[in-house]
Amino acid sequence: MRVFILLSVTLVATLASLVSSEPRVICYWPSWSIRRKGDFKHAPEDINGTLCTHIHYAFALLDEKNLKPIDSNGSPQVDLYHRINALKKQNPDLKHVLSIGGWGDKGEKYSHMVSNPEKRRRFIHNAIEYLQKYHFDGLDIDWEYPVCWQGNCNHNANADKQNFGMLLHVSFSINSKFHQF
């Protein structure tokens, strides 16, 4: 199984356009939509798997203590992961991507993780293990935002940009089988 660590949807789309002329349709499925009421409730089975090339399961959070992804509910939502993966029966080329971060995840956790080479390596190792265990095809890191956590740029964390680049550099080095995604 190939595993990829990617910066954001923008980077995914940019890389895809550089590598292939095939169009990419990236769809986010927010895990909380299953708990909505009435017309706003949306289950994995409601997704037409032929409309998307990638489905991002949103959002996992960064467990800062253990440096690994955790589901926003605190534990893996194995049933939901399997239900989204089942969409590959409709579209065998569909990629199932775990999105970690988002507006609800605190930026300083990511800043602390990327600022330390050993923490970066541990996170990458743990993320790959999580992705393989639950059959994800990739990871979307939706850190909002390096240097400007949740839009507040007064943290004096200017090293975030360089350190985030180091996280991506190390992850691509570890994932030497990086191919077209």
Model pLDDT for residues 48-82, shown as the tens digit of each residue: 999 999 999 999 999 999 999 998 888 899 999 99
16 or 172, greater pLDDT: 172
How would you classify the pairing of strands 138-142 and 26-30? unpaired
Q: Are 60 and 31 in contact (CB under 8 A)?
A: no
Angle, helices 160-174/117-133, rounded to nearest 10 degrees: 50
Confidence of residue 151 (pLDDT cuts 50, 70, 90): confident
Q: Tokens 């467990």 identify what position? A: 63
| 3-state DSSP percent of the chain in helix, strand and coil, to 5 | 40, 20, 40
Is 169 a residue whose pLDDT tops 60?
yes
Which sequence positions are flagged as catalytic? 144
Q: 3-state class of 168 per DSSP? A: helix
- Domains of the chain in start order, with CATH, are 5-174 (3.20.20.80)
User: Tokens at residue 10, please?
Assistant: 């923008």
Chain centroid, CA 169 distance in Å:
16
How much is the pTM?
Answer: 0.83
User: Is the pLDDT confidence value at 150 over 50?
Assistant: yes
Alpha-carbon span 22 to 37, nearest angstrom: 37
Residues 6+ apart with CB under 8 A from 166: 114, 117, 120
